[in-house]
A and B are shown apart, each in its own frame.
Chain A
Amino acid sequence: MTNHFIDMKNADVIVIMGSNFAENHPVGFQWVMEAVEKNNALLIHVDPRFTRTSAVAHKHVPMRSGSDIAFLGGMINHLLAGDKIDRDYVANYTNAPFIISDKYAFTEGVFSGLDAEKRSYNPESWQYEKGPDGKSKLDPTLKHPRSVFQLLKAHYSRYDIETVVKITGTRKEDLLFVYDAMASTAVPDRSGFFAYAMGWTQHSNGVQHIRTAAMIQLLLGNMGVPGGGINALRGHANVQGATDLAVLFHDLPGYLGLPAQGAHANLKEYLDKGPKAGFWVNRPAFVVSLLKAWYGDAARKENDFCFDYLPKSKGEHSFQQAFNVMAQGKIKGAVCLGQNPMGAGPNAGQMFAGLSKLDWLVSVDFFVNETAEFWKSNPTGGLGHKADSAAIKTEVFVFPAATVVEKSGSFTNSGRWIQWHEQGSKSPGDAKTDAVFTIRLGQELKKLYAGSAEKKDRPILDMTWDYGEKEGEIPARVLKEINGYAVKDVLKDGKAVVKAGEQLPSFIFMRDDGSTAGGCWIYTGVFGKENKAASRKADKPGEGIGANLGWSFAWPANRRILYNRASADLAGKPRSDRKKVIWWDAAAENPDGKKGKWVGLDVPDFGATMAPDAKPSDKGLFVGIGGMHPFIMNPEGRGRLFAAALKDGPFPEHYEPVETPVDNVLSKQKSSPVAKIYKSDKNPLGTPDKYPYVLTTYRLTEHHLAGAMTRNLPWLAELMPNLFFEISKELASELGIKPGEMCTISSARGSIKAQACVTDRLKPMTIAGKKVHEIGLPWHWGFKGIAVGDVANTLVASVGDPNVFIQESKALLCDVKKGG
């Protein structure tokens, strides 16, 4: 999230799209209702299904799954065509004035630079045009035909209202209602936000869904203000933290990026290929501090601080790719810890094929889950799970885990708040925390490799791994390492600003000379002198903008609203008294005797003493960033309406899902030319002649994801015992399906059985003149637990977004038959 849950109360317009907020994040939803009840906010829910979120919204707007970019692209067109944007914000704080290379082109749904065979783009033609001085060219009037602003206008002029109606199936008056509602926030005195979840991400172009919304927020001046932003509603307690700390193939903690084979042969190359302007110029200090935290005294300047120890990636090593490669017999061992691929992974047949080929599998969990017991047949009341145990040679170890209440540690919530939980009860039997399991596994490996002379074993032997003898003290010791500390005195202008051995108060004290160690720079400050994650000084209820700066620690630097410099104008004054966050106080005194600093209701997301009229400098912490550039992580200091960094185009474009019942109304390019389609005999794709209906998956209040943490709990199993699917009255009547009847749902990958919930909550839609039916399927069930049912992921294809490789489980094709 750019903002956070409590901040939602400050909004004037709320669009929930790609999320069933009220049912999937019920307690966070109280802040939406607070905005409605106390701030007179308008609440809109855009979703194929009518849900409890729709029930409390002022308006529910149905649309077809997979048509979101057309829906939002139409909004961009509406805002630009009607001049309903925040023009000052767009001109000053976005890259709208930048001129794009004359080689950039967009024809028939395809951007310049496509290699159709390799299914990838070369983004060379998507760059800013440079002047003779090497600097990007700008047209402040926004009139240049190749300015981002004019290209944006031209691109989205194709998304006229009639076209959008054809693609989405939404009524014209409903589209205009949503567009005008958001347009009302184009003035500085009003703000609105988008809240989304997997309804936006689980598509073959999921990243572009979120980008479209981010672009709208830039056009409306809604970034960096209370009640604004883009708010991702994350589904796991620590999915934000696990991402920050890089339990992901492509990254290192703090978004530093895993080095890649061919690109990063040594530390210098790895660092030199980083950004040359913006706050990321400090990356070398963050990288070296990470290496010092991991490899301690072994990491020295003369050996590149052990940069060689890090594995170098070769192409894609994503979750879906892992199971593809596993099924080919190339991955021999797997540790599944707090994760249940057999239920949660797309294309369950592919998951099963992968697990069956492993030599050994470790599962660490509270319960025996579907992954741990994939090798055994199990009935579910549906089609059930079938496995030939004797033929499956995978050796399986299941370790009992401690629950959250049995350990201390921190979770990072959706609003980036790092919150601490204390240990309460003791774990039963041999159940241990995941930290203890991992530390002990590391210790065993260190013993097994002890004395090895091989270079490849140095990382394991040199890895710092002493977290003490007392299990209860491990989490705090690890958090201190994540925060970072001074290895030697940290110097600034020759003076020690942090003494050797002390915790770092901020990442600005990190150095690239080996004098600091720290595991994740964006978390620095969470454990300086004290553990701020455990800080419990809440604001008085109803007070101010709800920043709650004394409660927990929000990364980075305890900032609650990202990009908050954009809430002030070029001169540093609040753009609106109603939506102010920080402002420039020219008279404020600083410790160094100089005057002027940013003050206000939040920690400034900016140089604390960088004056609004400061010229961009070629040195210091903020290279190239002037006092009027709020987006400090981008080298140009501005929010991007045109972004060359994405794999599937600098502007979001509507494509049909990989499996779709209709043609693309906008272009000849049916689905994304660069969508990832995994090749496997387990992954046939379906066509509408055999699989005529759109299927979308979703979640319920009573269950959590693949269900191990809820279907084993008697209360929740009783509340929501059986797998069902939602089907419109029209389609049910066409197929002769009665409420509660057991039916078979099939895709090209497989079949499951589920009970029919015949409902008004879904309606057939007319898409490009064709009647399209959509069914909804919750996906929490599996064959282990008290409440059992078939695995919904059996139906889902191994298809991925080209940027992040998430599967397309929000829009695929299926068939439904009564009985089974």
Chain B
Amino acid sequence: MDVSRRGFLKLAGAVSAGSALGGLSMARPIHAYAKDLPTKGAKEVPTLCPYCAVGCGQIAHVRDGKLVNLEGDPSHPISRGRLCAKGAATYEMTVNDRRLTKVLYRAPGGSDWQEKPYDWALQEVAKRFKATRDATFVEKDGGALVNRCDGIAWIGSACTDNEECYLFAKLARSAGIVFLEHQARL
């Protein structure tokens, strides 16, 4: 029996078509058929697994700005193309109906979310940030200059990039925040 790839595809097609028809009939000519790979025509972009700190390499396949596939990077010296269950599911973190795409707002005592424009929300947060900072700022304590904002906590994160962490520290410290923490103590 011819079990070359082409032959196998024909046979597989015959079996499934045959099963659908309720028997092994060859009523129609059977053609080899393979769907285009989802990565056809997509750009390959090197990225990293977002889960643990092994630092596995991933290749993102991107077409028209959209993620179409994500898999292990075979040229990565640590991971050598492999991914674990979480790493292999990374695609679904990005392409996911449950993802937030709008700002949500919950009023004090409110029972549900409201969608809000991003810029409005950012400005409202900045106003509250300033008001709380101004109200809780300790410039001097026991005569010592301490420039401390005791009333705001900045929590996170070990899931963000180095560059982002640096910006958090720079902004938080400049605002006087001392309750600055990420997951390292958990």
Smallest Cβ distance from B148 to chain A, in angstroms? 4
Smallest Cβ distance from B119 to chain A, in angstroms? 9
Instruction: Count chain B residues whose beta carbon lies closer than 8 angstroms to a beta carbon of A.
Output: 116
Q: A146 near B: Cβ within 8 Å?
A: no
Contact with A along B162-180 (1 / 0, CB 8 A): 1111111111011111111
* In contact, B52 and A397 (Cβ under 8 angstroms): no
Q: A375 near B: Cβ within 8 Å?
A: yes
* In contact, B86 and A710 (Cβ under 8 angstroms): yes
Stretch of A130-138, A316-324, A593-601 with 4 or more beta carbons under 8 angstroms from chain B: A316-324
**How far, in angstroms, from A89 to B165 measured CA to CA in the complex?**
39
Contact with A along B66-106 (1 / 0, CB 8 A): 11001000011111101111110110111010111111111
Identity of the chain B residue whose Cβ is nearest the Cβ of A335 in the assembled complex = B154
**How far, in angstroms, from A234 to B182 measured CA to CA in the complex?**
13
**How far, in angstroms, from A405 to B58 measured CA to CA in the complex?**
9
Instruction: List which B114-172 residues lie within 8 A (CB) of chain A.
Output: 116, 118, 121-130, 132, 135-137, 139, 141-142, 144-171
Stretch of A167-175, A279-287, A339-347, A568-576 with 4 or more beta carbons under 8 angstroms from chain B: A339-347
**How far, in angstroms, from A430 to B153 measured CA to CA in the complex?**
25
- 8 Å CB contact of A258 from B124, B144, B178: B178
- 8 Å CB contact of B155 from A341, A423, A478, A541: A341
**How far, in angstroms, from A399 to B126 measured CA to CA in the complex?**
13
* In contact, B160 and A242 (Cβ under 8 angstroms): yes
Instruction: List which A310-331 residues lie within 8 A (CB) of chain B.
Output: 310-314, 317-322, 325-326, 330-331
Smallest Cβ distance from B181 to chain A, in angstroms? 4
- 8 Å CB contact of B104 from A398, A435, A437, A439: A398
Smallest Cβ distance from B58 to chain A, in angstroms? 8
Residues of A within 8 Å of B169, CB to CB, are: 245-247, 252-253
Residues of B within 8 Å of A409, CB to CB, are: 161-164
Q: A499 near B: Cβ within 8 Å?
A: no
Contact with B along A801-820 (1 / 0, CB 8 A): 00011110000000000000
Contact A395 to B152, CB < 8 A, known contacts A368-B100, A804-B185: no
Residues of A within 8 Å of B108, CB to CB, are: 392-395
**How far, in angstroms, from A411 to B2 measured CA to CA in the complex?**
50
Residues of A within 8 Å of B22, CB to CB, are: none
* In contact, A519 and B166 (Cβ under 8 angstroms): yes
- 8 Å CB contact of B165 from A238, A312, A701: A238
* In contact, A406 and B125 (Cβ under 8 angstroms): no
Smallest Cβ distance from B1 to chain A, in angstroms? 36
* In contact, B99 and A424 (Cβ under 8 angstroms): no
* In contact, A248 and B47 (Cβ under 8 angstroms): no
- 8 Å CB contact of A439 from B62, B129, B139, B167: B167
- 8 Å CB contact of A442 from B66, B103, B171: B171
Smallest Cβ distance from A458 to chain B, in angstroms? 9
Stretch of A179-187, A713-721, A739-747 with 4 or more beta carbons under 8 angstroms from chain B: A713-721
Q: B18 near A: Cβ within 8 Å?
A: no
* In contact, B155 and A430 (Cβ under 8 angstroms): no
- 8 Å CB contact of B144 from A31, A262, A719: A262
Q: B27 near A: Cβ within 8 Å?
A: no
Identity of the chain B residue whose Cβ is nearest the Cβ of A360 in the assembled complex = B128
Stretch of A69-77, A443-451, A617-625 with 4 or more beta carbons under 8 angstroms from chain B: A443-451
- 8 Å CB contact of B174 from A375, A400, A448, A459: A459
Smallest Cβ distance from B82 to chain A, in angstroms? 5
Smallest Cβ distance from A177 to chain B, in angstroms? 29
Total inter-chain residue pairs, C-beta < 8 Å:
485
Smallest Cβ distance from B93 to chain A, in angstroms? 5
* In contact, B54 and A413 (Cβ under 8 angstroms): yes
- 8 Å CB contact of A424 from B67, B179, B180: B67
**How far, in angstroms, from A548 to B149 measured CA to CA in the complex?**
44
Q: B20 near A: Cβ within 8 Å?
A: no
**How far, in angstroms, from A366 to B152 measured CA to CA in the complex?**
23
Stretch of A22-30, A109-117, A504-512, A664-672 with 4 or more beta carbons under 8 angstroms from chain B: A22-30
Q: A87 near B: Cβ within 8 Å?
A: no
Smallest Cβ distance from B166 to chain A, in angstroms? 5
* In contact, A441 and B153 (Cβ under 8 angstroms): no
* In contact, A28 and B54 (Cβ under 8 angstroms): yes
- 8 Å CB contact of B90 from A337, A405, A430, A539: A405
Q: A440 near B: Cβ within 8 Å?
A: yes
Residues of B within 8 Å of A234, CB to CB, are: 52-53
Residues of B within 8 Å of A727, CB to CB, are: none
Residues of A within 8 Å of B123, CB to CB, are: 444
* In contact, A460 and B82 (Cβ under 8 angstroms): no
Residues of B within 8 Å of A701, CB to CB, are: 84-86
* In contact, A430 and B102 (Cβ under 8 angstroms): yes
**How far, in angstroms, from A478 to B168 measured CA to CA in the complex?**
12
**How far, in angstroms, from A154 to B88 measured CA to CA in the complex?**
51
Identity of the chain A residue whose Cβ is nearest the Cβ of B107 in the assembled complex = A395
Contact A240 to B53, CB < 8 A, known contacts A27-B82, A431-B99, A442-B171: yes
Q: B41 near A: Cβ within 8 Å?
A: no
Stretch of A96-104, A121-129, A414-422, A608-616 with 4 or more beta carbons under 8 angstroms from chain B: A414-422
Instruction: List which A488-526 residues lie within 8 A (CB) of chain B.
Output: 519-520, 523
Q: A378 near B: Cβ within 8 Å?
A: no
* In contact, B53 and A237 (Cβ under 8 angstroms): yes
Q: A153 near B: Cβ within 8 Å?
A: no
- 8 Å CB contact of A411 from B48, B118, B168: B48
Contact A456 to B52, CB < 8 A, known contacts A248-B181, A418-B162, A482-B162: no
Residues of B within 8 Å of A319, CB to CB, are: 155, 181, 185-186
Show 18 A/B contacts (Cβ-Cβ < 8 Å), sorted by A. Answer: A235-B52, A241-B161, A243-B182, A309-B147, A397-B103, A397-B105, A421-B47, A424-B43, A424-B60, A432-B118, A435-B161, A435-B163, A445-B171, A702-B85, A703-B86, A710-B89, A716-B86, A804-B184
B residues bordering A, Cβ < 8 Å?
43, 45-58, 60, 62, 65-67, 70, 75-80, 82-87, 89-90, 92-94, 96, 98-113, 116, 118, 121-130, 132, 135-137, 139, 141-142, 144-171, 173-186
